[in-house]
């Protein structure tokens, strides 16, 4: 297993290009299952999770070709509507094949994802929605088994805001007979990006980005070409890394439009953030103060503060001036980075879903262990400002969601290298 070795103390400066969004690419790759014509996707990030999803689609019979960040998928030869446990257990987002398979094939056998480090992560809302659309869905021997002759449009109401639940049901509804209305829908920008791709394929969707999405089913979807949106969480992560180090960076190929809650909090912490936008270019420029002011956060569904940025903000609060309260309202166990940050000298107290962080002058480098994707990112941010060397172990978590992170950080002046653990 690899680890990252980080020598703290460098002030990040310079330019870095943000990659395509993992959490937009994953559902959009699954959208290819809905058509017998090729779907060509640009700006697909080079991530382990993307590789896992492409392998999952290929074993179903989808023809996949990749040239740099452009991926072409041809699902005309789809002949195995199954997602086996061995593949699904490594990536929960595999559940996103369920809706498209039921809509396209009338049958699907998808392994239950199981929980992960941050929570139980049930998929009951995905199942409830497909049942409401007429599918017979049962859970047997760890697999979701679904069958239907033709999905029917329905009015769906999810018990809580669920991003992949909304995405699964929206994709299924594209080929249903009649209109489907999803109420309490997730409003995340990745849902909107998926809706734009589906519309380019001929779907009839309105309301994406609001909490009521209407889909008028059509007989078939055709091929399309779509460019994946920039990764707002990678953007936020690099903004936090630059902010923690008192740096000045320009992030290329991204915009603040998807990150208002995060940008507001970084400005409250003392950063100066400017958006650049021309027809050929979009970027964010951040200038940080020598030391940040502590900022409290409370995670909630979009457009509020994203849970995927909670760990990174805990890291910057560890060295900020003052104290902050961090409330995690989405997942039941998303504070595992706290004990690792404490190993670096942070002052953090946890009480249920609330963390109390008091900034210290300096963190001290140490060996720490990554436990999940965004926890890993928070440990890298902390390592950039800790005194001496920080070894972040089990960085396979990091490689799931950050493209070439050590090369990008090195380009900004960080002293960071990958080693065999
Ligand atoms: C998506 O996960 C993202 N993953 C997550 O990003 C992100 O943290 C999360 O949304 C919240 O924004 C992808 O898009 C691939 P949810 P998802 O369904 O869809 C409960 C990352 O770091 N729930 O919105 O799985 C669930 O347990 C990852 O990139 C049910 O109870 O999250 C959670 O408490 C981590 N039943 C809450 O809802 C269901 O059927 C929100 O989960 C579905 C969800």
Could you tell me if the CB of 123 is within 6 A of ligand 1? Answer: yes
Q: Which atom of ligand 1 is nearest to the CA of 125?
A: 40
Please state the rounded mean pLDDT for residues 291-295. Answer: 98
DSSP 292-361: PBP--EE--STTS--GGGHHHHHHHHHTSBSEEEEE--S-TT--HHHHHHHHTT-EEEEETTEEEEE--S
* Residue nearest to ligand 1 atom 35, measured at CA: 308
Closest among 402, 357, 362 to 380, alpha carbons compared: 402
Q: For position 80, what pLDDT does the model report? A: 97
Compute the distance from residue 289 Cα to the ligand 1 centre, in Å: 34
pLDDT tens digits along 312-351: 999 999 999 999 999 999 999 999 999 999 999 999 999 9
Could you tell me if the CB of 310 is within 6 A of ligand 1? Answer: no
Q: CB under 8 Å to 103, separation ≥6 — which residues?
A: 34, 151, 171, 172, 173, 174, 175, 176
Could you tell me if the CB of 10 is within 6 A of ligand 1? Answer: no
Could you tell me if the CB of 373 is within 6 A of ligand 1? Answer: yes
Compute the distance from residue 11 Cα to the ligand 1 centre, in Å: 34
The residue written with tokens 């021997």 in the block is 141
Question: Which residues are paired to 401 by β-bridges?
Answer: none
Of the listed 30, 105, 116, 271, which one is catalytic?
116
* Residue nearest to ligand 1 atom 41, measured at CA: 162
pLDDT tens digits along 187-235: 999 999 999 999 999 999 999 999 999 999 999 999 999 999 999 999 9
Q: Which atom of ligand 1 is nearest to the CA of 93?
A: 15
Compute the distance from residue 128 Cα to the ligand 1 centre, in Å: 16
Please tell me whether the overall predicted TM-score, pTM, comes out greater than 0.85 for this model.
Answer: yes
Compute the distance from residue 117 Cα to the ligand 1 centre, in Å: 13
Q: For position 308, what pLDDT does the model report? A: 98
In the predicted structure, residue 114 carries a pLDDT above the cut 80: no
Q: For position 58, what pLDDT does the model report? A: 98
Q: Which atom of ligand 1 is nearest to the CA of 302?
A: 12
Q: Do 357 and 318 contact (CB within 8 A), yes or no?
A: yes
- Mutation test of ligand 1: which of 19, 23, 129, 337 has the most ligand atoms closer than 8 Å to its C-beta? 23
Q: Is 116 tagged catalytic?
A: yes
Compute the distance from residue 332 Cα to the ligand 1 centre, in Å: 11
């Amino acid at each position: 297993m690899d680890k990252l070795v980080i020598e703290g103390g460098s002030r990040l400066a310079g330019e870095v290009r943000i990659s395509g969004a993992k959490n937009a690419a994953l559902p959009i790759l699954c959208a290819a299952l809905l058509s017998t014509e090729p779907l060509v996707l640009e700006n697909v990030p080079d991530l382990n999770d993307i590789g896992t999803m492409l392998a999952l689609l290929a074993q179903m019979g989808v023809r996949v070709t990749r040239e740099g960040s452009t991926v072409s998928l041809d699902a005309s030869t789809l002949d195995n509507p199954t997602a086996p446990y061995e593949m699904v257990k490594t990536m929960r987002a595999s559940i996103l094949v369920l809706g498209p398979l039921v809509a396209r094939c009338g049958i699907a056998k998808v392994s239950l994802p199981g929980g992960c480090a941050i929570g139980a992560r049930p998929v009951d809302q995905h199942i409830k929605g497909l049942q409401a659309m007429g599918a017979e869905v049962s859970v047997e021997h760890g697999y979701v088994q679904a069958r239907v002759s033709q999905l029917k449009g329905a009015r769906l109401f999810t018990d809580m805001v669920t991003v992949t639940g909304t995405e699964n049901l929206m994709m299924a509804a594209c080929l249903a007979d009649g209109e489907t209305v999803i109420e309490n829908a997730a409003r995340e920008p990745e849902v909107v990006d998926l809706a734009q791709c589906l519309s380019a394929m001929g779907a009839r969707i309105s309301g994406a980005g609001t909490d009521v999405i209407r889909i008028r089913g059509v007989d078939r979807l055709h091929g399309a070409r779509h460019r994946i949106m920039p990764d707002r969480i990678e953007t936020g992560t690099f903004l936090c890394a630059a902010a923690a180090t008192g740096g000045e960076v320009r992030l290329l190929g991204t915009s603040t439009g998807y990150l208002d809650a995060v940008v507001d909090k970084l400005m409250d912490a003392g950063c100066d953030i400017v958006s650049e936008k021309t027809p050929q270019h979009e970027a964010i420029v951040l200038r940080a103060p020598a030391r940040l002011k502590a900022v409290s956060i409370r995670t909630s569904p979009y457009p509020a503060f994203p849970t995927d940025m909670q760990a990174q903000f805990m890291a910057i609060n560890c060295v900020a001036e003052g104290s902050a309260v961090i409330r995690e309202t989405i997942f039941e166990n998303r504070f595992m980075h706290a004990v690792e940050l404490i190993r670096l000298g942070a002052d953090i107290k946890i009480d249920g879903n609330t963390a109390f962080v008091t900034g210290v002058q300096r963190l001290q480098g140490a060996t720490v262990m990554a436990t999940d994707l965004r926890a890993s990112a928070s440990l890298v941010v902390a390592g950039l400002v800790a005194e001496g060397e920080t070894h972040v172990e089990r960085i396979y978590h990091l490689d799931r969601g950050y493209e070439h992170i050590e090369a990008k950080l090195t380009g900004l002046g960080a002293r960071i290298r990958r080693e065999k653990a």
